[in-house]
Amino acid sequence: MIGVVAGTGDFDGYFAPSFHAALPKEKWDAVVASMTGQMGKPVAIDRLTAVTPFSANLRVRFERGVVNAQIAIDPAPPHQVVGLLFTGPEMAGDTLYKLAADIRALPGTTGLGIYALGDGAPRLMAGIAPDRAMPLGSAFKLWVLGELAREVGADERKWSDVVPVGPASLPSGITQNWPAGSPVTIQTLATLMISISDNTATDTLVSLEGDRLDDFVTKAGVPGLAPVLTTRQMFALKSPANVGLAAQWASSPTPSARRKILETNAARLRTTPVDPMMFAGRPSKIDTLEWFASPAETAAILDWLRKQGGETPLSLLAINPGVDPATRAKFDYVGFKGGSEPGVVTLNFLVKRKDGRWLAINAGWHRNDAGVEENRLIMLMTRALVLLADSPLPN
């Protein structure tokens, strides 16, 4: 394995055909380059703990630290590797300063906010332009969840309320394939929105909340979100058929002006054809046509959900913790919502340490000239969580 990671081994012979199908050589090379760029060259297997006769947990020593991994071997000869997952990196002598420097060095534009949470406002511990608004991708769904929690808390609706699934958007998700108008509870919609980033479930909730969602983000002081577009509206605005309309949106200075564009062009946006290949992996208007919020604003909505959202939103955020099990186990609680599209990735965590202290950790990375390597930022944020799991915090 050390030779394969170092680039001197037999990739084709080491991995089973099923692994090649799931992770072709070029993608493997990108994963390894991201990891070795941070950790240096692989040196040795420090520890192997068998889970079954054909799977194990590993600690792989690199020049600058250790990376945890999980490996699975085909029981049948020639016993090729069918699964290899690198998880939490542990850099020797790592610090938040070094971590921030590595995030800042990524090509393109980056943002970072690490906040201690308590009774008052979130307190910044480390950051990179934490007050600069950045494209969010699906992380805007945190505010959709927030407004839903506010309505439930105000007895305006119940998590058990049943509503019909709205018009289909593009994946990610599953409800776009369900029969039109399928009855479902709002908690189920919220679960799908947060855990698998279901776009059609999200749009159903955005339409259900209506102007109240815009009021919620306005009162929260997040102007880059208002008016909150459905995912279907966003895809339609980015369509080549709506270049002029997208330019109007980008040049509109206020939420009210953008809201007028939506009202005037509602039928057009509703009927614009969209398909999963419309962007073909290229960044599309990510600086002007997106959902925008800063790391500070994202930390604030996570803190609001912690303090005022109730148990249900926290349980939904914890379904997909966004990190490997070993890193998750370092905390009493890990909530997560990410977001991505070509050229954009954001990763947002709400965690409770073993000592009871709460933190919000938010990072974003975008670039117009190429895609971004999501796994690269995941590795960096895993480093952040490992660092923050038991390090001293400000009082």
SS (H, E, C) 316-345: HHCCCCCCCHHHHCCCCEEEEEEEEECCEE
Predicted local confidence at residue 352, as pLDDT: 98
Q: Is the pTM of this model over 0.85?
A: yes
Q: Nearest to residue 272, comparing CAs of 234, 228, 241, 247?
A: 241
SS3 88: strand
Q: Yes or no: say if 322 and 328 are a contact pair by the CB < 8 Å rule.
A: no
- Cα 333 to chain centroid distance, Å, stands at 17
Q: How far apart are CA 395 and CA 387, in angstroms?
A: 17
d(CA 148, CA 6): 49
- Confidence (pLDDT) at 253: 81
pLDDT in tens, the chain (395 residues): 999 999 999 999 999 999 999 999 998 998 898 888 888 999 999 999 999 999 999 999 999 889 989 999 999 999 999 999 887 788 888 899 999 999 999 999 999 999 999 999 999 999 999 999 999 999 999 999 999 999 999 999 999 999 999 999 999 999 999 999 999 999 999 999 999 999 999 999 999 999 999 999 999 999 889 999 999 999 999 998 999 999 999 998 889 999 999 999 999 999 999 887 776 667 888 999 999 999 999 999 999 999 999 999 999 999 999 998 888 999 999 999 999 999 999 999 999 999 999 999 999 999 998 889 888 899 899 999 999 998 888 76
**What DSSP state is assigned to residue 59?**
E
Q: Identify which of 314, 347, 348 has the alpha carbon closest to the alpha carbon of residue 333.
A: 314
Helix residue ranges per DSSP H, 167-242: 186-195, 199-209, 211-219, 231-237
Distances (CA, A) of 364 to 79, 116, 138, 235, 391: 40, 18, 12, 21, 23
Q: Each residue of 232-267: b (16+ CB within 10 Å) or e?
A: bbbbbbbbeebeebbebbeeeeebeebeebeeebee
Which tokens belong to 294? 């800063």
**Residue listed under structure tokens 């915090």:** 393
Q: Are the C-beta atoms of 108 and 134 separated by less than 8 Å?
A: no
> Which two three-digit tokens encode residue 58?
């590993």
Cβ atoms 139, 129 nearer than 8 A: no
Q: Can you give the pLDDT at residue 63? A: 92
* C-alpha atoms less than 13 angstroms from C-alpha of 225 in its C-beta half-sphere: 27
